[in-house]
Amino acid sequence: MTSLANGHLGVFIQGLDCNVHYRAYEGTWSAWQNMDGVKTRYDPVVIPRSAKTRKFDVFIVGFDHCLYHRGWQVGPGWAKDWTKIATNCLGPPAVVSRDNDKFIELAYVGTDHSLKHKRLEENQTWCPAGTETMDWGGKYIYNRGSACSWSTDHVSFFFIGMDSKCYEKRWVRGIEGWNDFELPGIWTIPPRALSQYKYEQKMTVYGLNEESKLFYCGRTGAGDVGGWNHTVFDDGTYSKEIPEAVSFGDSAQRIDVFVVGLDSSVYQKTWTKATGWKDAKKIGGNTIYAPRAVSWGDSSVTRYDLFAVGRDFSMWHLFSNDGDKWLPGDAIWESLGGKMATMAGGKV
């Protein structure tokens, strides 16, 4: 899903027909719309690029293992067709925008298990051009990773190697090229990265260890000084689904992490600057895939929306104005209908 501006939210899914389906919220929910043309193997990846112009980009991997892109903006609406921009994709890309949304950076694991990279330039051309990509090499075990950016001057990608360690590719303006870093811990699922504290350059990356416990690695700063710290939470074990993590605002005074329990319920773990990490809280549901969440609003208005695919393969939804009290009711989810083949799409 993606938030484009206050009062607007979009949700994207892979339907049982393997088409991308889209539903918008602007005070009320629209009907589901079918974005046919290319069948997708996985959940779509969506990146918002401008709250002012309400523009976003959708990426999917077809059954031909090719990567396709389609954009939308207010006025023209959807681009007419899906555009093929890469080949030999093992899974969906990790995508992030930077430099006031002028550029899009993406990376994905190829069918040879090496890492590939591509950039959408400010003039809306891809580099390398056509379906060519930059080969970053390496060998990676999972077919997806994660990306984040704390400012116009930074991008980081995270993927899990064949040794079950998490590796970072980091670009920082003023430091030459893409630099490689290794995070501590053993990672049994793909990571989920989150940037926070824009002006202090903080990142956290979440995963599950060999005991199915939630943990995170965190760091501050662009260079390698201090490295990554590693914290394991001892308040539960969880299903092998990718954690979801969201923060709110430039000051990022709050982080919420959502995981799936062994009972198929969604659990929420919250950090605030005042309280630190709180114990995980059960918020219900009966999900078969990892949940997706988005926080949006301005400095005075915050809204959290949480989405999960139920055992009936339809989309279920909760929302909150403070991140603590979930509506429409405690552990009562509302159905948004639809029929999903995978978890809801979103930024990864």
Q: Residue 129 half-sphere exposure, CB side, CA atoms within 13 Å?
A: 1
Which range has the top average pLDDT, 148-162, 187-201, 296-310? Answer: 148-162
Least confident of 46-50, 104-108, 195-199: 195-199
Higher confidence at residue 3 or residue 309?
Answer: 309
Q: What is the pLDDT of residue 41?
A: 95
What percent of the chain has pLDDT above 90? Answer: 64
pLDDT-wise least confident of 111-115, 277-281, 321-325: 321-325
Rg (CA), the chain: 19
Q: Is the pLDDT of residue 169 over 90?
A: yes
Q: Is residue 236 a contact partner of residue 261, using CB atoms and an 8 Å limit? A: yes
What is the arithmetic mean of pLDDT over 172-199?
89
Within 13 Å, how many C-alpha atoms sit on residue 255's CB side? 24
Three-state SS annotation for the chain: CEEEECCEEEEEEEECCCCEEEEEECCCECCCEEECCCCECCCCEEEEEECCCCEEEEEEEECCCCEEEEEEECCCEECCCCEEEECCECCCCEEEEECCCCEEEEEEEECCCCEEEEEECCCCCEECCCCCCEEEECCECCCCCEEECCCCCEEEEEEEECCCCEEEEEEECCCCCCEEEEECCCCCCCCEEEEECHHHCEEEEEEECCCCCEEEEEEECCCCCCCCEEEECCCCCECCCCCEEEECCCCCCEEEEEEEECCCCEEEEEEECCCEECCCEEEECCECCCCEEEEEECCCCEEEEEEEEECCCCEEEEEECCCCCCECECCECEEEECCECCCCCCCC
Is the pLDDT reported for residue 93 higher than 80? yes
Going by their DSSP bridges, the two strands 334-337 and 77-78 should be labelled as unpaired
Q: Tell me, what's the pLDDT at 223?
A: 59
> From CA 277, how far away is CA 78, in angstroms rounded?
41
User: Which tops the pLDDT comparison, 225 or 170?
Assistant: 170
What is the pLDDT averaged over residues 300-312? 85
Q: What average pLDDT does this structure show over 305-332?
A: 89
pLDDT band of residue 141 (cuts 50, 70, 90) is very high
State the average pLDDT for the chain.
89
Average pLDDT over residues 174-192: 94
pLDDT (mean) for 91-118: 94
What pLDDT, on the 0 to 100 scale, is given for residue 227?
80
- Residue 250 has phi, psi (to 5 degrees) of -65, -35
- Please give the Cα distance from 328 to 334 (Å, whole number): 7
Contacts 24+ apart (CB under 8 A), 21-26: 21/338, 23/336, 23/338, 25/305
Average confidence (pLDDT) over 202-218: 96
Identify the weakest region by mean pLDDT among 49-58, 65-74, 101-110: 49-58
Which CA distances in Å does 279 have to 138, 230, 333? Answer: 37, 18, 22
Lowest model confidence (mean pLDDT) among 104-113, 215-224, 304-313: 215-224
pLDDT digits (tens, 9 = 90+) for 48-64: 876 666 788 999 999 99
Q: Yes or no: say if 188 and 135 are a contact pair by the CB < 8 Å rule.
A: no
pLDDT of residue 20: 95
**Which pLDDT belongs to residue 249?**
56
- Please give the residue that has the higher pLDDT: either 202 or 64: 64
Tell me the average pLDDT across 30-58. Answer: 87
**pLDDT band per the 50, 70, 90 thresholds, residue 336:** very high
* C-beta separation of 167 from 181 below 8 A: yes
pLDDT of residue 49: 74
User: Is there a contact between 60 and 74 (Cβ–Cβ < 8 Å)?
Assistant: no
- Over 90: is that where the pLDDT of 65 sits? yes
Give the whole-angstrom CA distance, residue 93 versus residue 268: 26
